Structure 1
Amino acid sequence: MRLSVRHITRYRFDQPVRGIVQSQKLWPASSAGQRILSWEVTSEGAQTGAEFVDGGGDMIRLATWRGPLTELTVEVLGEVETTDLFGVLRDHRERVPPSAYLRPTRQVEADAELKMLSAVALKGMEGASALDRAHALSRAVSGAIAYKPGETQPHTTAAEALAGGVGVCQDHAHALISVAHAADMPARYVTGYLQANEDGSPHEASHAWAEIWVPELGWVGFDAANECCPDDRYVRLGSGYDALDAAPIRGLVQGGAPEEELEVEVVVTAGQQQQQ
C-alpha cells in the first residue's frame, strides 16, 4: 500500500519565550515492511544540528529556535510504500540487544496487578511458543483496558491505566510492555502512523503500539488498542523504552514558565500501489 503522511505540530505560548530546543525523532527507517519514497521535515525558522542514528536505528536531529517566540510549527510530509508482514519487523538495522528492553521505567513498571494479569494470561502456556505467549499477553491487555479517549494523561502509567480500566493507544502499549516484562520478554514502545480513517479526515494524533521480542522471528508488533498486529496500514516511525523515550519530539523551552498550547494534526491517506 502507498501511504501519504502529513503530520503538523503547532506550539503557541501566552508570552514570548527566549528560545526552544528540540530533539526530533521524525524520520522512519526503511525496512522489509516499509520503503520510504519521500520524507521531509520542516522546522520553519529553526537552526538544525547534525543528524545521527541512535542504537535503536532511529534518526534524530537537534533543532533550535531563538526568540522571542510566541509560536512555532513543525511539519512532516512523506510517502511510504508498505507491505503486510503480520507485525514482524524485518531488515531494520539497530545495535541495541533485545535484552536492553527489559529495563523498567516509571511508565511501564509492573505493579502487583500487572504481574497478575501477565500470569493469568499465560496460565497453562508453559510449553507454548514465544509468539503464542505474546499474542496471549496482547489479548489480555485489550480485554483489561477499554479504548476511551480523554480519560488518561500523557504521564499516566501502565499501572494507573489498568486500575482505571480505560485508556488510549499509549496506555495499551505501556501495559503490554509491562506484562511482557513480567513474563521476562523484552518489549518496547513504538510510535508511528495508522491509516484508519477511510475518508482521509485528520487523526487525533500519531499512533503507538508495542513490539515484543520473539526469538524465532525477532521484533513483532502488537497493537492492543486495535486488537491486531501492525499491517500495511501502519508506518513505523521510531521506538524506545516508553512514550517519553520514543517521543517524536522532545523539547525544552528557555525563558519563563509560559502557558503552552499544543495542537497536533495527523492525516494519513492511501493511494495506488506504486508499480515495480
Structure 2
Amino acid sequence: MQWFGKGSNNVEDGRGGGGGKTALGGGVGIIIIVLGLIFGKDLTGLVSQLPQGETTEVKQGVPANDAQGQFVSGVLESTEQVWDKEFEAMGKTYEHPKMVLFSEGVQTACGSASAAVGPFYCPGDHKVYIDLTFYDELKNRFGAAGDFAQAYVIAHEVGHHVQNLLGISDKLQQARGRVSETEYNRLSVKLELQADFFAGLWAHNAQNLKDFKLDEGDLEEALTAANAIGDDKLQKQATGEVTPDSFTHGTSQQRMYWFKKGFETGDISQGDTFKSNSL
C-alpha cells in the first residue's frame, strides 16, 4: 500500500521514553497472546490484570519521525478519513482515537500494560496502543509479512474504537458475569469478527481517498494475517488441540471471511456479526 498524506496528528510517541523493565517482557508476547486465546481471555481484560511494573512515559503530541512511525501515522490518518465519512453518513461525528507507540510497557486507563499483550484498544481512554516490535512477531512467528498486514492490525484495533463509540462494546461488557463463559466467548468472537469486518470496510473505502493506493498483493497480505491469528490455528500450534468453546477471536476462516466481506462490500450495514449465522 502507498499513502501520500501528511500523517495523523493523533500519534503519541513514547518509544524509548524512559521505560525500564516491565513485569512481563515483550519477548514473550506471542506466548501471552496464545495463552489468552487458549483460556478464553480477551486482551482488553488481560491489560488490567498484568502485574504493575515500570512503564514507558508517553510524550504527548510528539510526532513519529522515523519510517515505521510515519507509516503507522499514515494508516491512522487514512482510518480517520474513512470513518469521518462513515459517521457523517450516519448523522454522527467521529471522534478520532489516539494511537500510542510505546516500548516494553505503558500505563493506560485500562491498567498497566506490557508489550506482551500485543496491540490493543483501551475503551477507557479511547486509545490504540502498540509496541511496533509486534510487527516482527507478526512476520517471523505468524508468517504474515507486508505493510498491508501491518495496516490490518491497526485498522482492526480502530474497529474496536468504532464499536466503542457506537455502544456495541458496552453490550458485551454488560453480558460479562450474566452469561456462561462459553456464551461470553461466543459473543467475544462476534465482537472481534466485526472489528475484522470494519478493517475490511476501511480498506474498501480507503481506495477512494486521494492519498491512498493499494498495491498488488495487499489484500492477500491482510488475509494471510487474518488466517495466521485465528483461534483454531493458534491453539493447534500451541497445544496440538482445538477447543472451540474457548475461542475469543474466531477461526482463521471466520476472520478471513469477515475481513473480505468488509473489503468487498464497504457497507457498514453488512457487518452485524451478532445477527449473522455466517460464523
Both structures adopt the same fold (TM-score exceeding 0.5): no
Structure with the higher fraction of residues in helix conformation: 2
**Structure 2 length normalisation: TM-score?**
0.22
Structure with the higher fraction of residues in strand conformation: 1
Higher relative CO (Cα under 8 Å, sequence separation at least 6) belongs to 1
Greater gyration radius: 1
